[in-house]
Amino acid sequence: MTKLEERLRRGMNRYSERIRPESLPPLREPSGRRPRRTVRWLAPVAAAAVVVGVIVGVSLAGQHTQRPSALRTGGGATATPVPPGPGMPPYYATVFQTYAGGGGNPLTKAEVLDSATGAELKSLSVPTLFTQGGANGADITAAANDRTFVIYETGTVSARDRIAWFFLLRLAANGHSATLSRMRVSMPRALAVDYVALSPNGRMLAMQEQYCPNPGGCEYTGIRVVTIATGAVRTWTTKENGAPFNVSWAGNTRVAFLWEGPRLSGYRLMSLTGPGGSLLKASRSVASPSAEQSGYFPSALVTADGRTVITSTVSSGTGTATAKIVELDAQTGKLLRVLYTVTGSATSLGEGCNVLSLGPVGIHLLVACPDFGRLDGSVFKPLPGFPSPSRSGVSQQSTGAW
Amino acid sequence: MTGKAVDAAASQGEASDRADRAEAVRDLFRNHHLELVRLAAMMLGDIPAAEDVVQDAFERLHRHWRGIREPSSGLAYARSCVLNGCRTAHRRVAVARKYAPRLAGQQGGDARDPVAAVDDSAQVVAALRLLTHRQREVVVLRYYADLDVAEIAETLRITPGAVRAVTSRALAVLGRALGED
């Protein structure tokens, strides 16, 4: 070994010894946030399970009228800045967790960014729910008025004791100032909630709920809709083996979700006009993306008129994969348009292409496929903030909405 | 067997599989977490980022454990995941810098980094930043992780000849940077 090689070996070993075992954070195990969904009915999570994931934050509202006339298939990032099109939300917000500066614990941060330029307009610290039992990552969902977001964090204190925090993030007209306030949304302690979506009018929260009072399993699962102003709750539940995931809104009166169970899996649409009741009877199936080889279902959003499903497909070859963001006829599943195509390594694209958030008018999507950006019709524009500009941000610790 | 009994059996099977997977990943974590964080730190020069990358790798490992044919290859798979994560993290930092100039000041010297140019290890780690990502991977695997050429080739999915060529070029760069040429 040469002197240089010896010096490299010694220098790197000495550097590495500065990282002490006691300074390292504990393992956070996947517990049910995307991309791997946990059906607690099938397999109750361990009390200490903690994970963060890329989650769908959705805002759907208004009529889906302004469509780009020409179909183009994107091939990657565009070279020049794309001006905002009509109906593009002016701001997007991200939430992420980072160990940087946390002394071994994660810190939760939110950032508001300009949709056209990607410039950071506001950065906020969010109280971090980190209990002994662990905490899931923070997530964010948006209303359709460009100014209202809900950030939430959920955690598992014990098998019988769950916790959920909700924060209202309101932006001023210029996006540079914002207020963050804790929301009063009460939950039974044994109720596990996740996949929260704010309605386009900002008045309701829809979420997955799983009632698991015993460590051995859950008694039922369903969708819970909370009226924010009054605290009124409606639930649609089932004792079927499975659970709803990826909850989003299609207009202000319908909720879309992915039902995943051993006998039946796929996206469904449910009208909220009734008082509540049976989840599967009150909902109907809509076009769904095919499950990937791993069994993973990509996220899907349903337009406000309920006619179109926007989702992604990934086809894998040997080492490479091609991902497409597509529009499907909600009723027939027929492919209407391919909005975006990207080819890359199977490692990065497998479970790595998802639609995150749909603006209220036209096709203005936030996507992570696998790069984060906005999709205006079929033109992709990469955006920062997802993962966070924090140097320790990683993809599965960020989530964004507009 | 009733429908519910079938469900229960399937449920138990899945729960058992999940538990086995979780335990295997936990074992790997207990035994190799530190070395993987150190490996990532060497690649990134940033300890919190290294912790995140390794955490990310373990989540990926948890999801894909069933796809690993030989559980004994879990460490090799984890190492590959970490290196991939480092590569992605580098790309993200580049994107972040493009849009957020305030980050630029954090690149050269990290204020949180305890290795503040006080000993030779700081010079060595700083010199690693001069390498291309591939060169840095090879050097770190060779001289820090003590892998031989064949193991590096397998980890990075390149030929042994490529490993030797990359090593040679990397050492030339490092030699100049460290005054050893």
Sketch the domain layout of chain B as residue ranges. 1-109, 114-181
Higher-confidence residue of A323 and A136: namely A323
- pLDDT of A251 strictly over 70: yes
Give, for all 181 residues of chain B, the pLDDT tens digit: 444 444 444 445 555 555 666 677 777 877 888 889 889 888 887 777 788 788 877 777 766 665 454 556 678 778 888 887 787 665 544 333 322 222 222 233 333 333 333 467 878 888 887 888 788 889 999 998 888 888 888 778 788 888 898 899 889 889 888 887 6
ipTM of this predicted structure: 0.72
Query: A4-16 in b/e burial notation, b at 16+ Cβ within 10 A?
Result: bbebbbebbbbbb
Chain mean pLDDT for chain A: 77
Of A42, A101, A392, the CB nearest to B49: A392
- For residue A148, give the nearest of A231, A255, A55, A59 by alpha carbon: A59
Chain B residues touching A12 at Cβ < 8 A = 42, 121, 124-125, 140, 143-144
Half-sphere exposure for A245 (CA within 13 Å, toward CB): 25
- pLDDT of A303 strictly over 90: yes
Would you say the pTM of this structure is higher than 0.80? Answer: no
Q: In which region does residue A329 sit, left (phi positive, over 0), alpha (psi from -120 to 50) or beta (all else)?
A: beta
* A201 reaches B (C-beta below 8 A): no
pLDDT band at A196; cut points 50, 70, 90 = very high
Lowest mean pLDDT among A22-36, A96-110, A135-149, A175-189: A22-36
Contact B48 A3 (CB under 8 A): no
In terms of residues, how long is chain A? 402
User: Quick one: angle between helices B120-128 and B160-177, nearest 10?
Assistant: 130
Give the integer Cα–Cα distance in Å for A233 and A53.
27
Across A137-141, average pLDDT: 81
- For residue B136, give the nearest of B151, B124, B148 by alpha carbon: B124
Percent of chain A with pLDDT over 90: 36
| Residue the block writes with tokens 């009529």 | A63
Q: What is the CATH number of the domain that holds A172?
A: 2.120.10.30
Give the integer Cα–Cα distance in Å for A9 and B142.
9
> What's the total number of domains in chain A?
1
- For residue A365, give the nearest of A116, A120, A58 by alpha carbon: A58
Contact A394 B103 (CB under 8 A): no
Across A149-172, average pLDDT: 84
- Comparing alpha-carbon positions, the chain B residue that sits nearest to A3 is B180
Of A16, A262, A294, the CB nearest to B42: A16
- Provide, for chain B, the percentages of residues in helix, strand and coil under a 3-state DSSP scheme, each rounded to the nearest 5: 80, 0, 20
Taking one residue from A and the other from B, the number of pairs with CB-CB distance under 8 angstroms is: 167
Amino acid at B131: L
Question: For the domain bounded by B114-181, which CATH number is listed?
Answer: 1.10.10.10
Of B59, B64, B143, the CB nearest to A396: B59
Give the range of the structural domain holding residue A62, as residue numbers without chain letter.
3-401
Tell me how far CA of residue B140 lies from CA of A179, A270, B169, in angstroms: 46, 53, 14
Give the integer Cα–Cα distance in Å for A301 and A56.
9
Contact A394 B11 (CB under 8 A): no
- For residue B87, give the nearest of B20, B151, B156 by alpha carbon: B156
- Comparing alpha-carbon positions, the chain B residue that sits nearest to A15 is B121
Contact B42 A294 (CB under 8 A): no
Tell me how far CA of residue A201 lies from CA of A149, A205, A227, A370, A380, in angstroms: 11, 10, 11, 30, 27
- The answer to whether the Cα torsion of A101, A102, A106, A111 is positive or negative is negative
pLDDT tens string A230-242: 999 999 999 887 8
DSSP H helices in A29-165: none
Contact A43 B14 (CB under 8 A): yes
Mutation choice for A interface testing from B87, B121, B139 by most A CBs within 10 A: B121
Angle at A263 between CA A260 and CA A265, to 5 degrees: 30
Give the integer Cα–Cα distance in Å for A147 and A369.
25
Across A39-67, average pLDDT: 27
Angle at A208 between CA A203 and CA A212, to 5 degrees: 130
